[in-house]
Amino acid sequence: MRATNGTSTQNGEAAVNGHAANGHSVAAPSAGVKGRQDKADLSGVFGGFSADASQEEKDSCSVDLIQGDIADPAVFNGIFERYITQGGIYAVIHVAALKAVGESGELPLLYYQTNVSATVNLMQSMLKYKCLNLVYSSSATVYGTPETIPIPETSPVQPESVYGRSKGMCEDIIKDVCHAERSFNAVGLRYFNPAGAHPSGTMGEDPRGKPGNLLPLLAAIAVGRYSQDGLKVFGDDYPTHDGTCVRDYLHVMDLAKGHVLSLDALEKAEIFQNCGKTGNYRAFNLGHGKGQSVLDMIEAMRKASGYDYQYSIVGRRMGDVPDLTADPTLAERELGFIATEDLESMCRDLWRWQSSHPNGYDEPAATNGVSAQ
């Protein structure tokens, strides 16, 4: 998926390329924001297959792409109506969101409308059509500035940005629905920092405007899509090993596997056995368990691309916290999730994508030397 005006989507690729579980159809709403009108691609409804499907079954899998506005409840109702005659939709992977921390502080109402109101619209349609299984894309930003690093799921939810608060609100809404509707099952995945691209180099992140995330920005600078003066490091006085913010980066292919495992887990009663009166909702961290600083990432992309990055240190950015590193123990124990791709493969795969698609999905290829916005 790709987004406009510098706002990246919340990893639509993970849902689109992931496998549907247990032979059921899975709807995966994924926001590809079109300008500032909250228009979104709702991608794509899977003809499902299990995680251990044969190659023949995978090759025969069909994906329907439905375009619509996630702010319009009629869009969701229409999708569910469409699949009634095919047995209905078993589960939803909800990854539709705006996700730039800095921008969220400038456009709070847009973030609450797109991230929170649209989630309410979706869940109303799910209940109406008795689709009772949800995998929700949350975020590690719900932890704010955590007391414990690496961060366990037991850490307080205390977000410090509009984006983080929008994700925390959605988790609360989902938990309330699970409490009220005892047959509703949901898993919330608290992403840390997804990175990389498909190893084939044919699919990758293509944000519209200046990338809001570090690795896509580094890749775009290296191919000349943005000028060198576009690279700024926000703060070098944090309590980390080099003074810059530390984040836990996770390859998008590992992230995709996390969604597959979560779909499978929805049918396993044991993951909900201790939920008690709160209803069937569980939250899991998806991360690598090892943090990398901003300067670490710049060096890793320098090695992958061969580009000599120059950067400037500026003041801290509102909403940024010093360290967001996951404790992935719970996801490993209960979902079977293990991140196997390392930082080198993330940067290598990202560079393979960007160097072969210097202008993203657009044609013809971009001319080097485009100024940063």
Number of domains in the chain: 1
On whether the CB atoms of residues 10 and 31 are closer than 8 A, the answer is: yes
Question: Is position 139 within any domain?
Answer: yes
Question: Is position 315 within any domain?
Answer: yes
Is the confidence at residue 77, as pLDDT, over 90? yes
Question: Is position 367 within any domain?
Answer: no
pLDDT one-digit tens code per residue, 282-311: 999 999 999 999 999 999 999 999 999 999
What is the reported pTM?
Answer: 0.82
Q: b/e string for 308-324 if b means 16 or more Cβ within 10 A?
A: eeebeeeeeeebbbbbb
Question: Is position 150 within any domain?
Answer: yes
C-alpha distances in Å from residue 49, one per residue of 24, 171, 205, 261, 338: 7, 28, 26, 13, 22
Band of the pLDDT at 223, cuts 50, 70, 90?
A: very high
Question: DSSP letters along 238-305, please?
Answer: SSSSSSS-EE-EEEHHHHHHHHHHHHHHTT-GGGGTT-GGG-EEEEEEES-S--EEHHHHHHHHHHHH
Question: Is position 44 within any domain?
Answer: yes
pLDDT one-digit tens code per residue, 154-163: 999 999 999 9
Residues whose CB is less than 8 angstroms from the CB of residue 336 and which lie 6 or more positions away in sequence, other chains included = 261
Residue whose token pair is 């109303």: 124
On whether the CB atoms of residues 137 and 11 are closer than 8 A, the answer is: yes
CA separation for the pair 139, 123 (Å, rounded): 19
CB atoms within 10 A of CB 271: 18
- Count of helices and strands (H, E) across the chain: 12, 14
CA separation for the pair 111, 107 (Å, rounded): 6
Which residue type, as a one-letter code, is found at position 229?
Answer: D
On whether the CB atoms of residues 322 and 246 are closer than 8 A, the answer is: yes
Question: Is position 129 within any domain?
Answer: yes
361 is catalytic: no
Question: Is position 349 within any domain?
Answer: yes
Which of 90, 111, 163, 238 is the catalytic position?
A: 163
Q: 282 lies in which domain range?
A: 12-356
Question: Is position 372 within any domain?
Answer: no
Mean pLDDT throughout 103-130?
Answer: 96
Up-side HSE of residue 332: CA atoms within 13 Å toward CB? 11
CATH number of the domain residue 295 falls in: 3.40.50.720
